[in-house]
Structures are given as C-alpha cells and as structure tokens.
Structure 1
Amino acid sequence: MTYDHPLITVEHVLPQNPKVDSRWVELFDEEQRARWTHRLGHLVLLNRAKNSAAQNYDFAAKKAKYFTGRGGVVPFALTSQVLQHAEWTPELIETRQEGLLGVLAEEWRL
C-alpha cells in the first residue's frame, strides 16, 4: 500500500498540554501524561489537512474531527484502529504500545 499525501504528520491523541478542566486530566495524572505523551502506542499518523486543526479536544471530539469526517476515515490502518475505542486511557496505550513493539520486533527482526 502507498500513501499519496503531501505531508504526513504525527498526532498526539492525548494533547501535549491538555486543558485543566478536560477529561484528559481526569484520565491521566501528570506522571502518566509524562510517561505516555511521546510514546509509540500513543501517537498516530494523520495527513496535514486533518492535523492542522489540532486542538486539545477530549477523545470523543478528536475521533470525530481527526479520524473521521469530511473525506471519511483516515487511510492509515494503525490510526483507524483508534476508532474502535470508547476512551483513550493509560491502560489502553500500554496495551497498544506492547502490541506495536511486538509487531516491529517481529517484522524487523529486532
């Protein structure tokens, strides 16, 4: 499969700087945010058009704005997996991290 996008960007599902009154602050304490913000299990690919409107939205709003909408579901398989989850939690990121690292280790024989 090939992707024909002028520029592919990386999106942090959990915002790097979540609003104090957001659901993110309820789900992730400061230590968890520090641990997971820049890890593979938490990052997804988006094309620039979807990511350019990036906000500190809660998870449900992010799914609606970035992963679906005009133009349909994103074409990146790993990113579209985000849609199956009702919430984005530290436990979910940890499971995703382990799974992705396992795939990389197997495919790249690390």
Structure 2
Amino acid sequence: MLTGNLNNKLHLNKAFTSVEHILLQKPSAPAWNISEEQHKEWLHRLGNIVLVDMKKNASLSNSSFLDKRHKYSSYIEGRANTNHVFITYLQWNVGTIQQNHTRVVNLLKSYYTGNSLQSFKELKKKLIVPTAAPVLA
C-alpha cells in the first residue's frame, strides 16, 4: 500500500484480501528447486509474500511462479507491491526472494523513519509554543 498511488484510499479489507506465498508452503519439485533449510528460512519473509484478492489467491493455488506470473499478467492489481513482484521478476528463487525482501524492508524503513514515538514526541515539543504569561495591569 505504501508504493501505491497517493490518490488511492489506503485500506485493507480482510474479507477480500489474502496473503499469497509466492514460494509455496509445500513446494513440489521440479517447479520449486529449493532446499528444505532455505524454504524454512524464506517462506514467511516479507520478500516472499504479497497481498492478493482472495478469489485470485484461490485460483493461483499451488502453481509455479511462472504459472502465477502468467495468470497475473491479465490482472491489474490495486496493490502496487504485488504488481511489482509479478512484473519485475522473471523467475522466483532464493536470490530473487532475498532481493525483493531487501527492497520491501528498505521501503518500510524509509517510510517509518521519523515515525517513531520518540520522534513524534520531539516534533510535538517543537510544535507547542509556550504562551506568554498574562500581563497584570
């Protein structure tokens, strides 16, 4: 949602949205060439998940990345990150998951820099201008 159009209303309707693991929770060879250790490490990372319409997620099912990418090529998704993944990456493996993970983490860091409670309190202090003491006549 952070990478979407600024004019779009940002909201998440859980009734219609689903988390899609691009690398499947139970991958089958040869479509997914990944070790069990790498699978366990990268499955639930931000770089491997996107938000999709629940109906689309059901249709994507346990497909290979190329099948998912092909199915998604006919959709225009309202979620910019999802579009980025399916448009940008031609293959999906540990290297591309790591690359996408780094991109998403950096995006979140840049968005939230300065949005901590501490920086909020500091900003609030700067914005509160003390009023002058009343002058007694």
TM-score when normalising by structure 1: 0.83
Partner of 2:73: 68
Aligned partner (choices 80, 97, 100) of residue 101 of structure 2: 97
Larger Rg: 2
Partner of 2:46: 40
Partner of 1:30: 36
Cα deviation 1:46-101 (Å, max 9, x = unaligned): 01110122422111111122x233xx222211001122211001111111111111
Structure 2 unpaired stretches of 5+: 1-7, 117-137
Cα deviation 1:26-64 (Å, max 9, x = unaligned): 2x1111110111000110110111012242211111112
Aligned partner (choices 58, 79, 83) of residue 80 of structure 1: 83
Q: Separation in 1 of the partners of 2:107 and 2:12?
A: 24
Deviation at 1:104, TM superposition (A): 0.8
In the TM superposition, structure 1's runs of 4+ consecutive aligned residues that sit over 2 Å from their partners are: 2-6
Identity, in percent, stands at 28
| 1:9 maps to 2:15 | no
Summarize the Cα distance change of 1:22–1:57 in structure 2 as closer, same or farther, 3 Å threshold: farther
Q: Separation in 2 of the partners of 1:68 and 1:8?
A: 19
TM-score when normalising by structure 2: 0.68
